[in-house]
């Protein structure tokens, strides 16, 4: 599936009510308006990971497995195409599962 197809997808997981729009590279430069979709995905990963530091570590692990190689100290705007691709991979996985182990397993398989 190419990036244009991914942008058309709206992620909806009926089990837990998680809703996301697809992530585009432009949202990493936006400073006003509606909350960017990648922020909602990050928040969901932190919540799924247990919240607090445990949730943050889970989010970091998931983002790294999804392809973000820049490290947590780099802004997503340093490589917006890779960041968008990373979050869209996670978004697609969240369609099928919201369990910690399920997300990590899917990311390892799709790597």
Instruction: Tell me the per-residue pLDDT of 78-89, one tens digit each, with 9 for 90 and over.
Output: 999 999 999 999
Q: Per-domain residue ranges for the chain?
A: 50-111
Q: What pTM does this model have?
A: 0.81
Alpha-carbon separation of residue 52 from 47, 65, 68, 87 (angstroms): 8, 20, 21, 21
Task: Note the pLDDT of residue 17.
Answer: 55
Confidence band, pLDDT 50/70/90 cuts, at residue 34: confident
**pLDDT, mean of residues 31-35:** 82
- At 48 the pLDDT is 92
DSSP 1-15: --HHHHHH--EEETT
In terms of Cβ atoms closer than 10 Å to its own Cβ (0-12, 13-18, 19+), residue 26 is: exposed
Q: How far is CA 28 from the centre of its chain?
A: 13
């Amino acid at each position: 599936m190419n990036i244009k197809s991914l942008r058309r997808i709206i992620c909806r997981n009926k089990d837990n009510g998680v809703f996301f729009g697809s992530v585009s590279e432009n949202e990493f430069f936006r400073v006003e308006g509606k909350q960017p979709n990648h922020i909602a995905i990050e928040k969901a990963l932190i919540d799924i990971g247990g919240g607090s530091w445990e949730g943050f570590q889970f989010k970091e692990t998931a983002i790294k497995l999804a392809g973000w190689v820049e490290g947590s100290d780099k802004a997503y705007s340093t490589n917006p195409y890779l960041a968008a691709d990373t979050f869209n991979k996670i978004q697609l996985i969240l369609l099928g599962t919201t369990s910690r182990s399920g997300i990590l397993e899917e990311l390892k398989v799709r790597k």
